[in-house]
Amino acid sequence: MARLHHKVAIITGAASGIGRGTALLFAEQGAKLVLVDRDAAGLESIHSELVAQAAAVVISCGDVSLAETISNVVSLAIETYGQIDIVFNNAGIMPTGDLQSYPETSWDSVMDVNVKAMFLMCKLVIPHMIRQGRGSIINTSSVMATLTEPGYEAYSASKAAVIGLTKGIAVSYAEQGVRCNCICPGWVDTPMNQKVAEDAGGLEKLYPIIKAQQPLGRMATTREVGYAVLFLASDESSAVTGSALYVDGAASAAI
C-alpha cells in the first residue's frame, strides 16, 4: 500500500528543487497535494505533470512570507480535502554578501521567507492537526545551520532558527499528536545550486568544492532528499519528533 494513502500534504516551494521532487514522490505514494510557490509558471508545470499522472493536486501561487497567502493555502486544503495531515515547509531563499554591506531589506527577506513563513504556516495548521489527533510537519533547514562559509550569515542564521522552531513545536505539541521534524540537506542538485555553479564559472569548477565539503563526492538528488521527507511524513516515523535529519552526504561529519 502507498505510504501516504489518504493523507493530505501541503508543500511550499513546490515549483522546483526539493519541493518539486518531493511533490512527485508524495503523489506516487498516494498523497493528495496542495502545492504552493510564487513561481506561477513552475507551479503550473508541476501541476500539469501531476494531473497527467492522475494525482489529486491543487495549487496556490503566492508569497509564503505573507499571512494572507498562508491563510489562503490552509483554507484551500480544508475546502478541497477536509483535512491536513502533512506540511512540508520547504520554501527558501539564499542571497549572500559581505555582512558589512548586506542590505537590511535582504536580511529581512531571508528571515521572512525562511523562518516567518514556517511560523505562519504552523500557527494555522496545528489547530487542524490537533482536532484530527495527528499531523506531521517537516521543515527544511540546512547543513549550513551549523557549518557555514563567508557571506552566508543571513542564510545560516535563518536555518539555525528553523531547527530551534522545529524543536519548540515538537515539544509543545507532542502529547496532542503533532510531530515536527526538519531536514538538513547539504549540496543538492537544485536550481539554487545550479545558479551557484554558474556564478563559480561552471559546474566543473564547483565539483572540487563539493567533493571537499561533502564526502559522498556528489550532490544529492531532489528525489533522495524527498525520501527523507517521505519517511518523516509517514507513519513509519511515528515516534520521531524534534529531530534534525541530516541529508548531507556526511558533510556534517567531516573535518
155 catalytic, yes or no?
yes
88 touches 11 (CB < 8 A): yes
The catalytically annotated residue of 81, 152, 155, 246 is 155
Instruction: Please choose, from the candidates 65, 93, 78, the residue with its C-alpha nearest in 3D space to the C-alpha of residue 34.
Output: 78
> DSSP letters along the chain, please?
--TTTT-EEEEESTTSHHHHHHHHHHHHTT-EEEEEES-HHHHHHHHHHHHHTT--EEEEES-TTSHHHHHHHHHHHHHHHS---EEEE---------GGG--HHHHHHHHIIIIIHHHHHHHHHHHHHHHHT-EEEEEE--GGGTS--TT-HHHHHHHHHHHHHHHHHHHHHGGGTEEEEEEEE-SB-SHHHHHHHHHTTSHHHHHHHHHHH-TT-SPBPHHHHHHHHHHHHSGGGTT--S-EEEESTTGGG--
- Which residues does the annotation mark as catalytic? 155
